Amino acid sequence: MKIINCKFSKEQYPVFIGNTVLTDESIWKPYLKGNDIVIITCKQVSNLYLTTLQKTLFTYNPEVIVLDNGEQIKTLEHFNHIINTLLATKHGRKTTLIALGGGSIGDLVGFVASCFLRGVDLIQVPTTLLAQVDSSIGGKNGVNNAYGKNLIGTFYHPKAVFINPNTIATLNHRDFASGLAEVVKYSLIYDNDFYDWLEENIKLINQQHQLIIQEMIYRTIKIKLAIVLEDEYENNKRAICNFGHSFGHAIERFFDYKKYLHGEAVAIGMVIASRLSYQLEHLTIAEVNRLLTLLQQLNLPINLPEKITINKLIELMKTDKKNQHGNFNIVILSNIGMARLWRNITATTLKKHLEQIF
């Protein structure tokens, strides 16, 4: 078992990484205030891991809310549904909400926990690789609406995060690869050595070798925490975590979130952002090609779908939260392992650069 202690300005909590976190009640005990516990999960995860967790927490007799699978639940309608269910079943301020599932469940339940009766305890139990290395860490949550992704949400930390790396064994290969895209992103923006390590261990990563996966999750979380600790409320540095995301979100939205998984769209977005980084004379072409090879070896897409024109891409990018006064802020790489923000770019400048790439 590995434990990472997260110390933020107002909150402090542990992230447990190990194969016994779903079955060892003693690890949970300090984080459960009483018997008012609600596990919120999705259908798929409920079939796989809910019974195990219910057995572990049986003395608390947790209630369960099961939602549909995937991104479609990140809406205000689902937010309302959970709040109404909690109120109808007489839950109060001492309730602890347990988010058991991927990033979609984690983001939605995190948002509910931060708003329900002005905030109740939250425990994150991320079951996808993406949620384990990224969305469950750092306190951001949110839901989507017609204008775009994650436009409604809060910063709200959990009391603890419980990660069993073995849960990724049941993910389908696309969801696994989608999580790997975020892992690659963290190495690209912050840790050159980790990027080399990923390249060296590619075979074992694809085989989901237990120790390698655990190490990979641990190292990625450490990077994310280092970045978030510098800028908890995303005023500056934390924005580099959006590397590839301005383009990725636009691609996801173009297909109404149906064609690409988040990490897949981010992989294509990282390729575009790396090519921009090359054009702006920061990254070498050899480094861009190294990234293309790595992403392909991890079974991730690298090409912008032909259907999306540059004008459309830019139009879709306009609702991105990171924009300022209608201009774009785009994360680019100075080197592998070092990112910076390319600020205040007009649509005309961005278009000119993208036309040279495609």
Ligand X SMILES: NC(=O)c1ccc[n+]([C@@H]2O[C@H](COP(=O)([O-])OP(=O)(O)OC[C@H]3O[C@@H](n4cnc5c(N)ncnc54)[C@H](O)[C@@H]3O)[C@@H](O)[C@H]2O)c1
Smallest distance from the beta carbon of 42 to ligand X, in angstroms? 4
Residue 171 near ligand X by CB under 6 A: yes
Nearer to ligand X, 31 or 260 (CB): 260
Nearer to ligand X, 105 or 112 (CB): 105
Smallest distance from the beta carbon of 182 to ligand X, in angstroms? 6
Nearer to ligand X, 141 or 246 (CB): 141
Smallest distance from the beta carbon of 23 to ligand X, in angstroms? 15
Residue 135 near ligand X by CB under 6 A: yes
Closest CA to 274 of 299, 251, 257, 293: 293
Nearer to ligand X, 186 or 328 (CB): 186
What are the residues whose beta carbons fall under 8 Å from the beta carbon of 320, sequence distance 6 or more?
Answer: 148, 246, 249, 250, 328
Nearer to ligand X, 91 or 249 (CB): 249
Judged by CB under 6 A, the chain residues 302 through 341 that form the site for ligand X are: none
Residue 301 near ligand X by CB under 6 A: no
Nearer to ligand X, 74 or 219 (CB): 74
Judged by CB under 6 A, the chain residues 31 through 70 that form the site for ligand X are: 42, 44-45, 48, 69-70
Site string for ligand X, 82-111 (x = CB under 6 A): -------------------xxxxx-x----
Which one among 124, 141, 187, 220 touches ligand X, defined by CB under 6 A?
Answer: 141
Judged by CB under 6 A, the chain residues 256 through 295 that form the site for ligand X are: 262
Residue appearing with tokens 């369960």: 64
Residue 121 near ligand X by CB under 6 A: no
Secondary structure of the chain in HEC code, one letter for each residue: CEEEEEECCCCEEEEEECCCCCCCHHHHHHHCCCCCEEEEEEHHHHHHHHHHHHHHCHHHCCEEEEECCCHHHCCHHHHHHHHHHHHHCCCCCCCEEEEEECHHHHHHHHHHHHHHHHCCEEEEEECCHHHHHHHCCCCECCEEECCEEEEECCECCCCEEEECHHHHHHCCHHHHHHHHHHHHHHHHHHCHHHHHHHHHCHHHHHCCCHHHHHHHHHHHHHHHHHHHHHCCCCCCHHHHHHCCHHHHHHHHHHCCCCCCCHHHHHHHHHHHHHHHHHHCCCCCHHHHHHHHHHHHHCCCCCCCCCCCCHHHHHHHHCCCCCCECCEEEEEEEEECCEEEEEEEECHHHHHHHHHHHC
Residue 167 near ligand X by CB under 6 A: yes
Q: Taking phi first (over 0 means left), then psi (-120 to 50 degrees means alpha), and beta for anything else, what does residue 300 get?
A: beta
Nearer to ligand X, 170 or 327 (CB): 170
Smallest distance from the beta carbon of 31 to ligand X, in angstroms? 20
Q: Of 23-31, 81-89, 130-138, 323-331, which segment contacts ligand X by CB under 6 A?
A: 130-138
Residue 224 near ligand X by CB under 6 A: no
Nearer to ligand X, 74 or 78 (CB): 74
Nearer to ligand X, 104 or 214 (CB): 104
Smallest distance from the beta carbon of 284 to ligand X, in angstroms? 28
Closest CA to 20 of 221, 220, 214: 214
Residue 252 near ligand X by CB under 6 A: no
Q: Which residues here bind ligand X, judged by CB under 6 A?
A: 42, 44-45, 48, 69-71, 74, 101-105, 107, 127-128, 130-131, 134-135, 138, 140-141, 149-150, 167, 170-171, 175, 178, 262
